[in-house]
Amino acid sequence: MATDRVVERRRIFKQYKEDVKERGKPFYPFAMFHDTVMSLVVVIVIIGLAIVWKYTTPGNHHTTAAGWLGKLYDEPADPGTISFVPRPDWYFYFLFYLLRIFKWPSTVILGTIGIPTICLLLLLAVPFLDVRSERRLLHRPVAIVASVLVIISMGVLTYKGATAKEALGTELLADVPHWAEKQGFSNNPEAVAGAKLFAVAGCLNCHTYLGTGSHNLGAPDLSAEGAKNKGIEFQISHLKCPACVNPGSPMPSFAGLGDANLHKLATFLEASKGPK
């Protein structure tokens, strides 16, 4: 059976070589003409994008305002920042959104490593999974279904990643009194200060808290984090180096906030025993 297949595909390739020799056309000028036109189109599109990027940006110089294609640049990188949005370039949105589907800590590794690795291995294996010589589309139902599913899922994930809501610290700050009331830490100034920090430090770009925030990268809901009674010391060391305490955590270090701020955040987290 397998030898039949080998004989058959060798025959077809031999026939291919003969056919090309007999009734093919020379690469130059025929195919090369198409290639040249297409390459010119590519270069023009790239230059066009660069021009649109620059000239739709409001103002002329030194601005972080966004044009049609987004900002020319953002504020300078600041490791000690208290507000950030971890957002990759658009062609990684499908991975970015994939991480929302999985829950920390049990299955998030599937989204970060498992599925991308499996996809890459499957992609490498395509010629060995599909060993028939058949090339006509209507005779390759599995290939058609697989490619349609891949295109739809990549498209949906990219779209969802692109439209994923970002939490704005200034708007979230207004929720702090409401949180303090629900959690009952209104008379604990350290916890309230921590809550304000929590609202503006970008925590809610990944975590959710009492219904606000955007669930990203598999980060857990923190509404009842204090109910686990892990202690302030634990919370501080976790904020300083999440992966040291929780192996495999993609959360960035917040050591840049400084010990005083970390203590406030930890107090707030420990005071969050769940809504009453």
Partner 1 sequence: MATKPMTRSEQLQQTIVYPLDWLEERSGLVGGVKYFLFRKVPGDTDWWQTLGSATLTAFLVQALTGVILAMYYKPDPTVNPRTNLPVAYQSMQHITNDVFAGWLVRGMHRWGASVFIILMFMHMGRVFLFGAYKYPRELNWILGVLLLASGLAEGFTGYLLPWDQTSYWATVVGVNINGTAPFLGPFLAQFLNGGTAINADTLSRFYSIHMLLIPGAIFALIGLHLYLVIRLGVTSPPWSKEAAGTGPLAPPETNGAGRVGLVSPSARRSAR
For 184, counting Cβ atoms within 10 Å of its Cβ (0-12 exposed, 13-18 middle, 19+ buried), the class is middle
Closest CB to partner 1 among 153 and 186?
A: 153
CB of 26 to partner 1, least distance (A): 5
Q: What is the DSSP letter of 221?
A: B
Which of 87, 103, 160, 230 touches partner 1 (CB under 8 A)? Answer: 87
Count CA atoms closer than 13 A to 10's CA, side-chain side. 6
**Does residue number 20 form part of the binding site for partner 1 (CB under 8 A)?**
yes
Q: Is residue 74 involved in binding partner 1 (CB under 8 A)?
A: yes
Q: Any contact of residue 127 with partner 1 (CB under 8 A)?
A: yes
Cβ count near 95 (within 10 Å) = 17
Smallest distance, Å, CB 62 to partner 1?
Answer: 6
Query: How would you classify the pairing of strands 70-71 and 66-67?
Result: antiparallel
Single residue of 2, 4, 26, 59 touching partner 1 by CB under 8 A: 26
Residue 99, helix vs strand vs coil: helix
Among residues 7, 66, 68, 69, the one that binds partner 1 under rule CB under 8 A: 69
Subset of residues 184 to 223 that bind partner 1, contact rule: CB under 8 A: 202, 217
CB of 260 to partner 1, least distance (A): 21
Please report whether residue 23 would count as binding partner 1 according to CB under 8 A. Answer: yes
C-alpha closest to that of 193 among 254, 258, 261, 243: 261
